[in-house]
Chains A and B, each alone.
Chain A
Amino acid sequence: MDADRMGRTLTRIAHEILERNRGVEELALVGIRTRGVPIARRLARAIGEINHHEVPTGALDITLYRDDLMRHAVGPQPVVRSTEIAFSIDDKKILLVDDVLYTGRTIRAALDALIDFGRPKSIQLVVLVDRGHRELPIKADYVGKNLPTSLSQSVQVHLQEIDGRDEVEIQEP
Protein backbone atom coordinates (compact mmCIF):
# COMPACT_ATOMS: atom_id res chain seq x y z
CA MET A 1 0.00 0.00 0.00
CA ASP A 2 1.49 3.34 -1.04
CA ALA A 3 0.77 6.93 0.05
CA ASP A 4 -1.97 7.54 -2.50
CA ARG A 5 -3.76 4.33 -1.65
CA MET A 6 -3.46 5.03 2.07
CA GLY A 7 -5.00 8.48 1.65
CA ARG A 8 -7.97 7.11 -0.30
CA THR A 9 -8.43 4.27 2.21
CA LEU A 10 -8.63 6.71 5.13
CA THR A 11 -11.10 8.92 3.24
CA ARG A 12 -13.24 5.85 2.57
CA ILE A 13 -13.15 4.88 6.26
CA ALA A 14 -14.12 8.45 7.22
CA HIS A 15 -17.20 8.13 4.97
CA GLU A 16 -18.04 4.75 6.47
CA ILE A 17 -17.78 6.17 9.98
CA LEU A 18 -20.17 8.99 9.10
CA GLU A 19 -22.55 6.61 7.38
CA ARG A 20 -22.73 4.25 10.32
CA ASN A 21 -22.91 6.95 13.04
CA ARG A 22 -25.63 9.40 12.20
CA GLY A 23 -24.56 12.68 13.80
CA VAL A 24 -20.95 13.32 14.64
CA GLU A 25 -21.51 15.22 17.90
CA GLU A 26 -20.95 12.15 20.06
CA LEU A 27 -17.94 10.83 18.15
CA ALA A 28 -14.38 10.90 19.49
CA LEU A 29 -11.21 9.32 18.13
CA VAL A 30 -8.61 7.62 20.33
CA GLY A 31 -5.38 6.43 18.68
CA ILE A 32 -3.25 3.69 20.22
CA ARG A 33 0.43 4.64 20.51
CA THR A 34 2.52 4.78 18.44
CA ARG A 35 1.08 4.64 14.93
CA GLY A 36 -2.60 4.67 15.82
CA VAL A 37 -2.22 8.30 16.91
CA PRO A 38 -1.34 9.91 13.55
CA ILE A 39 -3.93 7.70 11.81
CA ALA A 40 -6.57 8.97 14.26
CA ARG A 41 -5.53 12.57 13.54
CA ARG A 42 -5.78 11.98 9.79
CA LEU A 43 -9.24 10.46 10.21
CA ALA A 44 -10.29 13.51 12.25
CA ARG A 45 -9.08 15.74 9.42
CA ALA A 46 -10.89 13.62 6.79
CA ILE A 47 -14.14 13.72 8.76
CA GLY A 48 -13.69 17.50 9.21
CA GLU A 49 -13.30 17.96 5.44
CA ILE A 50 -16.50 16.05 4.78
CA ASN A 51 -18.84 17.78 7.23
CA HIS A 52 -16.90 20.61 8.91
CA HIS A 53 -17.06 19.21 12.39
CA GLU A 54 -14.02 18.81 14.59
CA VAL A 55 -13.94 15.38 16.20
CA PRO A 56 -11.96 15.37 19.50
CA THR A 57 -8.87 13.18 19.25
CA GLY A 58 -6.78 11.55 21.97
CA ALA A 59 -3.77 9.26 22.37
CA LEU A 60 -3.71 6.08 24.45
CA ASP A 61 -0.61 4.24 25.71
CA ILE A 62 -1.45 0.66 26.65
CA THR A 63 1.92 -0.44 28.07
CA LEU A 64 0.73 -0.63 31.68
CA TYR A 65 -2.22 -2.83 30.63
CA ARG A 66 -0.24 -5.38 28.62
CA ASP A 67 -0.76 -9.04 29.49
CA ASP A 68 2.87 -9.95 28.78
CA LEU A 69 4.48 -7.59 31.31
CA MET A 70 6.55 -9.37 33.98
CA ARG A 71 6.52 -12.57 31.93
CA HIS A 72 10.06 -12.23 30.67
CA ALA A 73 12.83 -13.19 33.04
CA VAL A 74 15.34 -11.01 31.23
CA GLY A 75 15.29 -7.61 29.62
CA PRO A 76 14.18 -4.12 30.46
CA GLN A 77 10.58 -3.06 30.91
CA PRO A 78 8.85 -1.58 27.86
CA VAL A 79 8.95 2.22 27.79
CA VAL A 80 5.78 3.85 29.10
CA ARG A 81 4.60 6.87 27.16
CA SER A 82 1.91 9.35 27.99
CA THR A 83 -1.80 8.96 27.52
CA GLU A 84 -3.49 12.19 26.43
CA ILE A 85 -7.25 12.17 26.41
CA ALA A 86 -8.27 15.76 27.02
CA PHE A 87 -12.03 15.15 26.86
CA SER A 88 -14.50 13.08 28.87
CA ILE A 89 -15.25 9.78 27.18
CA ASP A 90 -18.50 9.36 29.11
CA ASP A 91 -21.43 8.74 26.74
CA LYS A 92 -19.20 9.27 23.69
CA LYS A 93 -19.02 6.92 20.74
CA ILE A 94 -15.32 6.13 20.82
CA LEU A 95 -13.49 5.14 17.65
CA LEU A 96 -10.42 3.22 18.76
CA VAL A 97 -7.71 3.45 16.09
CA ASP A 98 -4.65 1.26 15.51
CA ASP A 99 -2.41 0.53 12.55
CA VAL A 100 -2.31 -3.28 12.48
CA LEU A 101 -4.80 -5.75 13.97
CA TYR A 102 -3.03 -9.05 14.72
CA THR A 103 -3.53 -11.16 17.87
CA GLY A 104 -6.06 -8.75 19.37
CA ARG A 105 -4.12 -8.49 22.63
CA THR A 106 -3.30 -4.81 22.15
CA ILE A 107 -6.99 -4.08 21.61
CA ARG A 108 -7.90 -6.07 24.73
CA ALA A 109 -5.46 -3.93 26.71
CA ALA A 110 -6.78 -0.75 25.08
CA LEU A 111 -10.37 -1.63 26.01
CA ASP A 112 -9.34 -2.09 29.64
CA ALA A 113 -7.43 1.20 29.58
CA LEU A 114 -10.33 3.11 28.02
CA ILE A 115 -12.87 1.81 30.53
CA ASP A 116 -10.69 3.31 33.30
CA PHE A 117 -11.41 6.74 31.84
CA GLY A 118 -15.18 6.45 32.00
CA ARG A 119 -18.18 4.79 30.42
CA PRO A 120 -18.39 5.43 26.71
CA LYS A 121 -21.70 4.86 24.90
CA SER A 122 -19.91 2.50 22.51
CA ILE A 123 -16.44 1.61 21.31
CA GLN A 124 -15.79 0.85 17.65
CA LEU A 125 -12.51 -0.41 16.25
CA VAL A 126 -10.74 1.11 13.25
CA VAL A 127 -7.59 -0.50 11.80
CA LEU A 128 -5.57 0.29 8.72
CA VAL A 129 -4.53 -3.34 8.21
CA ASP A 130 -6.05 -6.59 9.46
CA ARG A 131 -3.46 -9.34 9.10
CA GLY A 132 -5.42 -12.16 10.76
CA HIS A 133 -4.17 -14.67 13.38
CA ARG A 134 -6.47 -13.53 16.19
CA GLU A 135 -5.89 -15.03 19.65
CA LEU A 136 -8.85 -13.29 21.26
CA PRO A 137 -12.48 -12.82 20.13
CA ILE A 138 -11.98 -9.33 18.69
CA LYS A 139 -13.15 -7.98 15.34
CA ALA A 140 -12.62 -4.60 13.67
CA ASP A 141 -15.60 -2.43 12.64
CA TYR A 142 -13.65 -0.58 9.93
CA VAL A 143 -10.76 -2.18 8.06
CA GLY A 144 -8.49 -0.37 5.59
CA LYS A 145 -7.19 -3.55 4.03
CA ASN A 146 -7.33 -7.25 4.82
CA LEU A 147 -3.83 -8.62 4.38
CA PRO A 148 -3.51 -12.41 4.57
CA THR A 149 -0.13 -13.20 6.13
CA SER A 150 1.75 -16.12 7.55
CA LEU A 151 2.83 -16.09 11.19
CA SER A 152 6.48 -15.79 10.24
CA GLN A 153 5.95 -12.57 8.27
CA SER A 154 5.73 -9.15 9.86
CA VAL A 155 3.62 -6.21 8.73
CA GLN A 156 5.17 -2.74 8.98
CA VAL A 157 3.14 0.41 8.62
CA HIS A 158 5.22 3.51 7.86
CA LEU A 159 3.65 6.92 8.32
CA GLN A 160 4.81 10.33 7.17
CA GLU A 161 4.53 11.81 10.68
CA ILE A 162 6.84 9.20 12.23
CA ASP A 163 8.80 7.48 9.49
CA GLY A 164 8.89 10.16 6.79
CA ARG A 165 6.85 8.15 4.25
CA ASP A 166 3.48 6.43 3.87
CA GLU A 167 3.74 2.74 3.12
CA VAL A 168 2.54 -0.66 4.29
CA GLU A 169 4.94 -3.49 3.69
CA ILE A 170 5.14 -7.17 4.49
CA GLN A 171 8.55 -8.26 5.68
CA GLU A 172 9.68 -11.81 5.16
CA PRO A 173 11.60 -13.47 8.01
Chain B
Amino acid sequence: MTKDLLAISDLSGEEITLILDTAEAMREIGERPIKKVPTLRGKTVVNLFYEPSTRTRTSFEIAEKRLSADTLNVAVSMSSVLKGETLADTAMNIEAMAPDMIVLRHPSSGAGHLLARLCRSRIINAGDGMHEHPTQALLDAFTIREHKGRIEGLKITIVGDLLHSRVLRSNIALLTKLGADVCVCGPRTLIPVGLDRHGVTVSTAVDEAVAGADVIMMLRIQQERMHGAFFPSAREYFNTFGMTVARIARARPDVIIMHPGPMNRGVEIASDVADGPYSVILEQVANGVAVRMAVLYLLAGGAEASD
Protein backbone atom coordinates (compact mmCIF):
# COMPACT_ATOMS: atom_id res chain seq x y z
CA MET B 1 0.00 0.00 0.00
CA THR B 2 1.02 3.58 -0.55
CA LYS B 3 1.50 6.07 2.28
CA ASP B 4 -1.86 7.74 1.74
CA LEU B 5 -5.27 6.85 0.37
CA LEU B 6 -6.16 9.80 -1.84
CA ALA B 7 -7.88 8.26 -4.85
CA ILE B 8 -8.99 4.89 -6.17
CA SER B 9 -7.09 5.65 -9.36
CA ASP B 10 -3.82 5.26 -7.35
CA LEU B 11 -4.70 1.67 -6.35
CA SER B 12 -4.08 -1.51 -8.31
CA GLY B 13 -6.70 -4.22 -8.67
CA GLU B 14 -4.70 -6.40 -6.23
CA GLU B 15 -4.62 -3.64 -3.61
CA ILE B 16 -8.38 -3.16 -3.93
CA THR B 17 -8.94 -6.89 -3.49
CA LEU B 18 -6.61 -6.92 -0.45
CA ILE B 19 -8.63 -4.11 1.16
CA LEU B 20 -11.92 -5.94 0.49
CA ASP B 21 -10.56 -9.24 1.82
CA THR B 22 -9.21 -7.54 4.95
CA ALA B 23 -12.60 -5.84 5.44
CA GLU B 24 -14.18 -9.31 5.41
CA ALA B 25 -12.12 -10.24 8.49
CA MET B 26 -12.76 -6.85 10.12
CA ARG B 27 -16.51 -7.25 9.88
CA GLU B 28 -16.46 -10.16 12.32
CA ILE B 29 -15.04 -7.87 15.03
CA GLY B 30 -18.27 -5.85 14.92
CA GLU B 31 -20.25 -8.98 15.76
CA ARG B 32 -18.34 -9.75 18.96
CA PRO B 33 -19.46 -8.87 22.48
CA ILE B 34 -16.27 -6.78 22.83
CA LYS B 35 -16.04 -4.88 19.55
CA LYS B 36 -12.43 -3.85 19.89
CA VAL B 37 -8.98 -5.13 18.99
CA PRO B 38 -5.69 -3.63 20.22
CA THR B 39 -4.12 -3.20 16.78
CA LEU B 40 -3.75 0.59 16.56
CA ARG B 41 -3.08 1.14 20.26
CA GLY B 42 -1.06 4.31 20.76
CA LYS B 43 -1.77 5.65 17.26
CA THR B 44 -3.48 9.02 16.95
CA VAL B 45 -5.96 9.70 14.18
CA VAL B 46 -7.32 13.19 13.51
CA ASN B 47 -10.64 13.50 11.70
CA LEU B 48 -10.51 16.86 9.98
CA PHE B 49 -13.87 17.67 8.42
CA TYR B 50 -14.45 20.86 6.45
CA GLU B 51 -17.89 19.77 5.28
CA PRO B 52 -20.88 18.49 7.19
CA SER B 53 -20.95 14.71 7.42
CA THR B 54 -22.81 12.25 9.61
CA ARG B 55 -22.19 8.86 8.02
CA THR B 56 -18.59 9.15 6.96
CA ARG B 57 -17.32 10.86 10.10
CA THR B 58 -19.18 8.51 12.45
CA SER B 59 -18.08 5.52 10.42
CA PHE B 60 -14.42 6.52 10.52
CA GLU B 61 -14.63 7.26 14.21
CA ILE B 62 -16.19 3.89 15.02
CA ALA B 63 -13.60 2.15 12.83
CA GLU B 64 -10.75 3.97 14.59
CA LYS B 65 -12.14 3.16 18.04
CA ARG B 66 -12.63 -0.53 17.17
CA LEU B 67 -8.93 -0.67 16.32
CA SER B 68 -8.06 1.11 19.63
CA ALA B 69 -6.65 4.26 18.01
CA ASP B 70 -6.93 7.57 19.86
CA THR B 71 -9.24 9.75 17.82
CA LEU B 72 -9.73 13.45 17.68
CA ASN B 73 -12.46 15.23 15.76
CA VAL B 74 -11.87 18.71 14.42
CA ALA B 75 -15.18 20.20 13.38
CA VAL B 76 -14.46 23.26 11.29
CA SER B 77 -17.52 25.13 12.52
CA MET B 78 -15.81 25.39 15.92
CA SER B 79 -12.21 25.80 14.79
CA SER B 80 -9.77 28.55 13.84
CA VAL B 81 -10.70 28.11 10.19
CA LEU B 82 -13.51 30.55 10.89
CA LYS B 83 -10.82 33.06 11.90
CA GLY B 84 -9.25 32.80 8.45
CA GLU B 85 -6.62 30.09 8.86
CA THR B 86 -5.72 28.28 5.62
CA LEU B 87 -5.94 24.52 5.17
CA ALA B 88 -2.15 24.27 4.96
CA ASP B 89 -1.66 26.20 8.21
CA THR B 90 -4.30 24.19 10.03
CA ALA B 91 -2.71 20.97 8.78
CA MET B 92 0.82 22.03 9.74
CA ASN B 93 -0.37 22.91 13.23
CA ILE B 94 -2.12 19.59 13.65
CA GLU B 95 0.96 17.89 12.21
CA ALA B 96 3.10 19.60 14.85
CA MET B 97 1.20 17.56 17.45
CA ALA B 98 2.40 14.39 15.67
CA PRO B 99 -0.72 12.44 14.76
CA ASP B 100 -0.23 9.23 12.76
CA MET B 101 -3.11 9.69 10.37
CA ILE B 102 -5.38 12.48 9.20
CA VAL B 103 -8.79 11.73 7.74
CA LEU B 104 -9.72 14.72 5.59
CA ARG B 105 -13.04 15.85 4.15
CA HIS B 106 -12.79 19.10 2.19
CA PRO B 107 -14.90 21.01 -0.38
CA SER B 108 -11.89 21.56 -2.71
CA SER B 109 -10.78 18.84 -5.10
CA GLY B 110 -7.18 17.81 -4.42
CA ALA B 111 -7.11 19.01 -0.79
CA GLY B 112 -5.85 15.59 0.28
CA HIS B 113 -2.98 15.76 -2.19
CA LEU B 114 -1.92 19.12 -0.76
CA LEU B 115 -1.89 17.68 2.74
CA ALA B 116 -0.04 14.55 1.64
CA ARG B 117 2.76 16.74 0.30
CA LEU B 118 2.95 18.83 3.48
CA CYS B 119 2.50 16.17 6.16
CA ARG B 120 4.41 13.18 7.43
CA SER B 121 1.09 11.76 8.69
CA ARG B 122 -0.77 9.36 6.47
CA ILE B 123 -3.71 11.07 4.76
CA ILE B 124 -7.01 9.36 4.09
CA ASN B 125 -9.28 11.21 1.70
CA ALA B 126 -12.83 11.14 3.07
CA GLY B 127 -14.16 13.16 0.13
CA ASP B 128 -12.49 16.08 -1.64
CA GLY B 129 -14.74 18.42 -3.61
CA MET B 130 -15.87 16.86 -6.86
CA HIS B 131 -12.82 14.61 -7.12
CA GLU B 132 -12.94 11.34 -5.17
CA HIS B 133 -14.40 9.58 -2.14
CA PRO B 134 -12.36 6.38 -2.16
CA THR B 135 -13.66 4.68 0.99
CA GLN B 136 -17.24 5.07 -0.28
CA ALA B 137 -16.37 3.26 -3.52
CA LEU B 138 -14.59 0.54 -1.53
CA LEU B 139 -17.60 -0.06 0.70
CA ASP B 140 -19.87 -0.07 -2.36
CA ALA B 141 -17.64 -2.70 -3.97
CA PHE B 142 -17.61 -4.71 -0.74
CA THR B 143 -21.42 -4.64 -0.64
CA ILE B 144 -21.73 -5.64 -4.30
CA ARG B 145 -19.24 -8.49 -3.86
CA GLU B 146 -21.13 -9.71 -0.82
CA HIS B 147 -24.39 -9.95 -2.77
CA LYS B 148 -23.13 -11.04 -6.17
CA GLY B 149 -19.95 -12.88 -5.24
CA ARG B 150 -17.99 -10.94 -7.84
CA ILE B 151 -17.70 -7.61 -9.61
CA GLU B 152 -16.29 -8.67 -12.94
CA GLY B 153 -18.89 -8.87 -15.70
CA LEU B 154 -21.75 -7.31 -13.72
CA LYS B 155 -23.89 -4.63 -15.29
CA ILE B 156 -23.82 -1.69 -12.89
CA THR B 157 -25.98 1.34 -13.64
CA ILE B 158 -25.29 4.60 -11.86
CA VAL B 159 -28.04 7.25 -12.03
CA GLY B 160 -28.07 10.83 -10.83
CA ASP B 161 -25.92 13.94 -10.58
CA LEU B 162 -22.88 12.85 -12.59
CA LEU B 163 -21.36 16.32 -12.63
CA HIS B 164 -20.79 17.03 -8.95
CA SER B 165 -20.38 13.50 -7.65
CA ARG B 166 -17.04 12.38 -6.20
CA VAL B 167 -18.69 9.07 -5.31
CA LEU B 168 -19.23 8.55 -9.05
CA ARG B 169 -15.60 9.22 -9.95
CA SER B 170 -14.29 6.83 -7.31
CA ASN B 171 -16.81 4.18 -8.30
CA ILE B 172 -16.04 4.43 -12.01
CA ALA B 173 -12.32 4.04 -11.27
CA LEU B 174 -12.88 1.04 -9.04
CA LEU B 175 -15.60 -0.81 -10.92
CA THR B 176 -13.98 -0.52 -14.36
CA LYS B 177 -10.65 -1.62 -12.82
CA LEU B 178 -12.33 -4.77 -11.52
CA GLY B 179 -13.99 -5.47 -14.85
CA ALA B 180 -17.63 -4.39 -14.38
CA ASP B 181 -19.73 -3.11 -17.25
CA VAL B 182 -20.62 0.38 -16.00
CA CYS B 183 -23.42 2.52 -17.41
CA VAL B 184 -23.96 6.06 -16.10
CA CYS B 185 -27.15 8.01 -16.60
CA GLY B 186 -28.39 11.51 -15.82
CA PRO B 187 -29.82 14.68 -17.35
CA ARG B 188 -27.61 16.14 -20.09
CA THR B 189 -26.94 19.24 -17.99
CA LEU B 190 -25.37 17.07 -15.28
CA ILE B 191 -23.07 15.02 -17.55
CA PRO B 192 -19.48 16.31 -17.51
CA VAL B 193 -17.69 16.55 -20.84
CA GLY B 194 -15.44 13.59 -21.59
CA LEU B 195 -17.10 11.19 -19.15
CA ASP B 196 -17.33 8.56 -21.91
CA ARG B 197 -13.53 8.44 -22.05
CA HIS B 198 -13.46 6.69 -18.65
CA GLY B 199 -14.59 3.34 -20.03
CA VAL B 200 -18.29 3.73 -19.23
CA THR B 201 -21.46 3.93 -21.31
CA VAL B 202 -23.18 7.30 -20.96
CA SER B 203 -26.94 7.52 -21.31
CA THR B 204 -29.73 10.02 -20.79
CA ALA B 205 -32.53 7.45 -20.99
CA VAL B 206 -32.97 5.95 -17.57
CA ASP B 207 -35.32 3.15 -18.65
CA GLU B 208 -32.76 1.86 -21.13
CA ALA B 209 -29.88 2.28 -18.69
CA VAL B 210 -31.65 0.28 -16.01
CA ALA B 211 -32.65 -2.60 -18.29
CA GLY B 212 -30.88 -5.80 -17.31
CA ALA B 213 -28.85 -4.18 -14.52
CA ASP B 214 -27.40 -6.33 -11.71
CA VAL B 215 -26.81 -3.28 -9.55
CA ILE B 216 -28.45 0.18 -9.58
CA MET B 217 -26.55 2.86 -7.75
CA MET B 218 -28.32 6.15 -7.12
CA LEU B 219 -26.42 9.41 -6.68
CA ARG B 220 -27.69 12.28 -4.61
CA ILE B 221 -28.85 15.49 -6.25
CA GLN B 222 -26.39 17.85 -4.60
CA GLN B 223 -28.40 21.00 -4.08
CA GLU B 224 -25.56 22.64 -2.14
CA ARG B 225 -23.22 22.46 -5.14
CA MET B 226 -25.79 23.54 -7.73
CA HIS B 227 -25.44 27.19 -8.59
CA GLY B 228 -27.27 27.00 -11.90
CA ALA B 229 -30.58 25.73 -13.23
CA PHE B 230 -29.68 22.16 -14.16
CA PHE B 231 -33.27 20.94 -14.31
CA PRO B 232 -36.63 22.72 -13.95
CA SER B 233 -37.80 21.22 -10.65
CA ALA B 234 -37.22 18.40 -8.22
CA ARG B 235 -40.60 17.00 -9.22
CA GLU B 236 -39.67 16.92 -12.89
CA TYR B 237 -36.34 15.30 -12.05
CA PHE B 238 -38.14 12.61 -10.10
CA ASN B 239 -40.54 11.95 -12.97
CA THR B 240 -37.70 11.68 -15.51
CA PHE B 241 -34.88 10.03 -13.51
CA GLY B 242 -36.24 9.06 -10.08
CA MET B 243 -35.95 5.39 -9.16
CA THR B 244 -39.41 3.90 -8.81
CA VAL B 245 -40.68 0.36 -8.43
CA ALA B 246 -41.88 0.47 -12.06
CA ARG B 247 -38.37 1.32 -13.31
CA ILE B 248 -36.69 -1.35 -11.19
CA ALA B 249 -38.92 -3.95 -12.86
CA ARG B 250 -36.80 -3.53 -16.00
CA ALA B 251 -33.62 -4.60 -14.19
CA ARG B 252 -32.65 -8.17 -13.35
CA PRO B 253 -34.93 -9.83 -10.78
CA ASP B 254 -32.08 -10.06 -8.25
CA VAL B 255 -31.03 -6.42 -8.68
CA ILE B 256 -29.73 -4.52 -5.64
CA ILE B 257 -30.36 -0.80 -5.12
CA MET B 258 -27.62 1.29 -3.58
CA HIS B 259 -27.34 4.90 -2.44
CA PRO B 260 -24.33 6.52 -0.75
CA GLY B 261 -26.62 8.78 1.33
CA PRO B 262 -27.90 11.15 2.39
CA MET B 263 -31.01 10.41 0.34
CA ASN B 264 -33.42 12.93 -1.08
CA ARG B 265 -36.59 10.86 -0.93
CA GLY B 266 -38.96 11.77 -3.72
CA VAL B 267 -36.17 13.43 -5.76
CA GLU B 268 -33.74 10.71 -6.88
CA ILE B 269 -35.38 7.77 -5.18
CA ALA B 270 -38.93 6.82 -4.19
CA SER B 271 -39.47 5.93 -0.55
CA ASP B 272 -40.88 2.50 -1.37
CA VAL B 273 -37.66 1.73 -3.28
CA ALA B 274 -35.36 3.08 -0.56
CA ASP B 275 -37.11 0.94 2.05
CA GLY B 276 -37.97 -1.90 -0.29
CA PRO B 277 -36.65 -5.46 -0.55
CA TYR B 278 -33.97 -4.67 -3.15
CA SER B 279 -32.43 -1.91 -1.10
CA VAL B 280 -29.02 -2.56 0.51
CA ILE B 281 -28.59 1.05 1.59
CA LEU B 282 -28.27 0.33 5.31
CA GLU B 283 -25.94 -2.61 4.64
CA GLN B 284 -23.67 -0.16 2.84
CA VAL B 285 -23.50 1.89 6.01
CA ALA B 286 -22.74 -1.18 8.14
CA ASN B 287 -20.04 -2.35 5.72
CA GLY B 288 -18.48 1.12 5.76
CA VAL B 289 -17.09 0.52 9.24
CA ALA B 290 -15.38 -2.76 8.26
CA VAL B 291 -13.93 -1.26 5.07
CA ARG B 292 -12.57 1.77 6.91
CA MET B 293 -11.03 -0.50 9.55
CA ALA B 294 -9.27 -2.36 6.74
CA VAL B 295 -7.96 0.86 5.21
CA LEU B 296 -6.73 2.18 8.58
CA TYR B 297 -5.01 -1.10 9.35
CA LEU B 298 -3.33 -1.46 5.97
CA LEU B 299 -2.14 2.16 5.87
CA ALA B 300 -0.82 2.05 9.44
CA GLY B 301 1.84 -0.46 8.42
CA GLY B 302 5.27 0.59 7.42
CA ALA B 303 5.46 1.66 3.80
CA GLU B 304 7.47 4.79 4.44
CA ALA B 305 10.67 3.61 2.80
CA SER B 306 8.93 3.08 -0.52
CA ASP B 307 7.79 6.69 -0.75
Residues of A within 8 A of B (CB): 61, 64-65, 69-70, 72-77, 79-84, 112-113, 116-118
Q: Which residue in A75, A80, A118 is a CB contact (below 8 Å) of B302?
A: A75
A75 to B304, alpha carbons, bound, how many Å? 9
Q: Complex Cα distance A69/B42, Å?
A: 12
In the docked arrangement, what's the CA distance between A159 and B272, Å?
53
Known: A64-B297, A70-B302, A116-B34. 11 other contacts (CB 8 A): A69-B39, A69-B301, A70-B40, A74-B304, A77-B1, A79-B21, A80-B22, A82-B25, A84-B28, A113-B37, A116-B32
Q: Which residues of B are found within 8 Å of A113, using beta-carbon distances?
A: 37
Residues on A with beta carbons closer than 8 Å to the beta carbon of B300: 70, 77
**Interface 1/0 per residue, B4-30 and A, CB below 8 Å:** 000000000000001001101110110
Q: Are the CB atoms of B302 and A82 closer together than 8 Å?
A: no
Residues of chain B with a CB closer than 8 A to A118's CB:
33
Closest to A113 in B: B37
CB pair B39–A64 under 8 Å, yes or no, is yes
A61–B305 contact, CB under 8 A? no
Question: Contacts A64-B37, A117-B33: A70 and B301 contacting too (C-beta < 8 A)?
Answer: yes
User: A74 to B305, Cβ gap below 8 A?
Assistant: yes
| Residues in B whose Cβ lies below 8 Å from that of A75 | 301-303
Residues of A with C-beta under 8 A to B273: none
Which residues of chain B come closer than 8 Å to A117, judged between CB atoms? Answer: 32-34
B298 within 8 A of A: yes
Q: Which residue of A lies closest to B1 (CB)?
A: A76
Measured between beta carbons, the chain B residues less than 8 angstroms from A82 are: 24-25, 28
Option from B32, B33, B36, B302 in Cβ contact (under 8 Å) with A74: B302
Return B299 CB to nearest CB of chain A, in Å. 9
Q: How far is the CB of A3 from chain B (nearest CB, A)?
A: 31
15 contacts between A and B (CB under 8 A): A64-B29, A64-B38, A70-B43, A72-B301, A74-B303, A74-B306, A75-B301, A76-B1, A76-B298, A80-B26, A84-B28, A112-B38, A116-B33, A116-B37, A118-B33
Q: Which residues of A contact B305 (CB under 8 A)?
A: 73-74
The prevalent SS among residues of A at the interface is loop
CA distance A112 to B36 in the complex (A): 11
Q: How long is the Cα–Cα vector from A157 to B37 in the complex, in angstroms?
A: 29
Contacts of A76 in B (CB 8 A): 1, 298, 301, 303
B91 to chain A, nearest CB (A): 23
A92 to chain B, nearest CB (A): 14
- Going nearest first, the 8 A-B pairs with the smallest beta carbon separation are A77-B301, A64-B37, A80-B25, A74-B305, A64-B39, A116-B34, A73-B302, A82-B25
Report which B residues bind A (CB closer than 8 A). 1, 18, 21-22, 24-26, 28-29, 32-34, 36-40, 43, 67, 294, 297-298, 300-306
Chain B residues whose C-beta falls within 8 Å of the C-beta of A69 in the assembled complex: 39, 301
**Are A65 and B37 interface neighbours, CB within 8 A?**
yes
A79 and B22 in contact (CB under 8 A), knowing A112-B38, A116-B34? Answer: yes
> Given known contacts A116-B32, A117-B32, is B25 in contact with A77 (CB within 8 Å)?
no
What A residues does B25 contact at CB under 8 A?
Answer: 61, 80-83
Of all chain B residues, which has the CB nearest A78? B301
Name A90's closest neighbour in chain B (CB-CB).
Answer: B33
Chain B residues with CB under 8 A of A73:
302, 304-305
**In the complex, which residues of chain B have a beta carbon less than 8 angstroms from the beta carbon of A112?**
38
- Minimum distance in angstroms from B12 CB to a CB of chain A: 13
Instruction: Give A109 Cβ to nearest chain B Cβ, in Å.
Output: 9
Question: When chains A and B are docked, how far (Å) is the Cα of A169 from the Cα of B157?
Answer: 54
B302: chain A residues within 8 A (beta carbon): 70, 72-75
Q: How far is the CA of A74 from the CA of B38 in the complex (A)?
A: 21
Q: Which residue of A lies closest to B27 (CB)?
A: A82
Nearest residue (CB) in B for A81 is B25
Q: How far is the CA of A118 from the CA of B32 in the complex (A)?
A: 9
CA of A72 to CA of B297, assembled, Å? 14
Chain B residue at smallest Cβ distance from A88:
B33
